[in-house]
Amino acid sequence: MKQRYLRGLKVSAMGLGCMGFSQSYPPFPEKSEAIQAIRRAVELGINFFDTSEAYGPYKNEELVGEALSPCRDKAVIATKFGWDIPEDAASYAGKPFGLDSRPAAIRKAVEGSLRRLRTDHIDLYYQHRVDPNVPIEDVAGTVSELISAGKVLAFGLSEAGADVIRRANSVCPVTAVQSEYSMFYREPEKEVMPVLKELGIGFVPFSPLGKGILTGAMTRNTELPENDFRRYIPRFQGDNYQKNLELAEYVSALASQKGAKPSQIALAWVMAQGENIVPIPGTKKISRIEENIGSLGVSFTPEELAAINAKLESIAITGARYPEEQMKLTFTGGK
């Protein structure tokens, strides 16, 4: 497996987003199947695994911890803090809850994550969403203390804006920023990615396959399951979805020309945008993990990339990437 660096953190060139094993993308596999998939990823050379206390909540960290416990020394585990998860968390599955990145909350969260992940340290600890009620300097300072204590090795931010990234980095070096990024959503190119390049910070795109629309598996007649969270996303609804399939169809046509799968084209394009980029496609199936790894063998000439980017500019993506209320609550970007 090729390796890349998120600042000083050496990881496989592609990671595995684990959220889908227990949230958002039903049906969910049996625990034994999920553990088998995660361990197969390790066998195939993936060492970078992404989870969060909020996924489930808590269930995903427990799953990842159990799956990686026999091979913890081979794994780089990233998890996230920053939520006000109620004590009776099980009753809140699938429901929104508030933000809480106060220092005391972070110190409490890390202990829970360490226990569930069956480890004595977290390799990369992200603030999951910017908390407008807590100065980012206080957040960074608290994580710096956890690093000094050996409980955390590196600090990350998720969905943070350029100003917040700079301010956080001035207090505690930011190793990586995680944000949605793909052919389907390119907003980070405007402000975030230039700052990351300037400061030497790694970039970890989630949903690099456009929440599945770039895999070739979704067609104009696709019906999403009732409890699939994409049913509530504007860009997957009605006319928006039908218009957005123009991009999916272009990627599929490009894949045919290159002798690759659509997912491999989409992932190879993301990785071609910079050596500091490590995508974390999520899946529940071993076959998809193997398919995604195949993207590491796909390359583009400068001329091909220029043509692809010109085509992407000509395709308008319609609809918001999340429901309006969710955007208001949890995607402030720190602005």
Q: Report the CATH number that the domain containing residue 287 is assigned in CATH.
A: 3.20.20.100
Tell which residue, 67, 104, 101, has the closest CA to residue 84: 101
The verdict on residue 309 lying in a domain is no
Half-sphere exposure in the Cβ direction for 199 (13 Å, CA): 25
Would you say residue 172 has pLDDT above 50?
yes
pLDDT of residue 138: 98
Is 55 annotated as catalytic?
yes
Q: What is the rounded average pLDDT of the residues 219-239?
A: 92
The verdict on residue 125 lying in a domain is yes
Would you say residue 258 has pLDDT above 50?
yes
For residue 7, the enclosing domain spans 3-210+273-296
From 55, 58, 126, 185, the catalytic residue: 55
Would you say residue 34 has pLDDT above 70?
yes
Tell which residue, 190, 202, 136, 197, has the closest CA to residue 163: 136
Q: Which of 30-39, 128-137, 201-210, 218-227 has the lowest mean pLDDT?
A: 218-227
pLDDT of residue 227: 86
The count of structural domains within the chain is 1
The verdict on residue 256 lying in a domain is no
Helix (H) or strand (E) holding 39: helix 31-43
The verdict on residue 244 lying in a domain is no
Centre a 10 Å sphere on the Cβ of residue 224 and count the other Cβ atoms it contains. 18
Rounded Cα–Cα distance for residues 236 and 180 (Å): 16
Specify the 3-state DSSP secondary structure of 215: coil
Centre a 10 Å sphere on the Cβ of residue 299 and count the other Cβ atoms it contains. 12
Distances (CA, A) of 122 to 78, 115, 189, 203: 7, 11, 29, 18
| pLDDT (tens digit per residue) in 179-220 | 999 999 999 999 999 999 999 999 999 999 999 999 999 999
Kind of pairing, strands 3-6 and 9-12? antiparallel
Q: Which of 54-58, 59-63, 110-114, 142-146 has the lowest mean pLDDT?
A: 54-58
pLDDT of residue 226: 86
The verdict on residue 291 lying in a domain is yes
pLDDT of residue 237: 95
Would you say residue 88 has pLDDT above 80?
no
Which segments of 231-301 does DSSP mark as H helices, in order?
238-258, 262-271, 286-293
Would you say residue 335 has pLDDT above 80?
no
Predicted model pTM: 0.95
pLDDT category of residue 324 using cuts at 50, 70 and 90:
confident
Q: Which of 23-32, 297-306, 307-316 has the lowest mean pLDDT?
A: 23-32
Question: What letter represents residue 19's amino acid?
Answer: M
The verdict on residue 233 lying in a domain is no
Structure tokens at 97: 């809850």
For residue 202, which phi and psi values (nearest 5 degrees)?
-75, 160
Mean pLDDT of the chain: 94
User: Which burial class, exposed, middle or buried, applies to 172 when counting CB atoms under 10 A from its CB (0-12, 13-18, 19+)?
Assistant: buried
The verdict on residue 171 lying in a domain is yes
Q: Which residue has the tokens 């910017």?
A: 130
Residue count (the chain): 335
The verdict on residue 102 lying in a domain is yes
Rounded Cα–Cα distance for residues 201 and 276 (Å): 7
Tell which residue, 14, 87, 10, has the closest CA to residue 49: 14
Please answer whether residues 129 and 331 qualify as being in contact, where contact means their C-beta atoms are separated by less than 8 angstroms.
Answer: yes
pLDDT of residue 171: 98
Distances (CA, A) of 130 to 8, 34, 178, 188: 23, 30, 12, 16
Q: Which residues of 268-278 are buried (b: 16+ CB within 10 A; e: fewer)?
A: bbbbbbeebbb
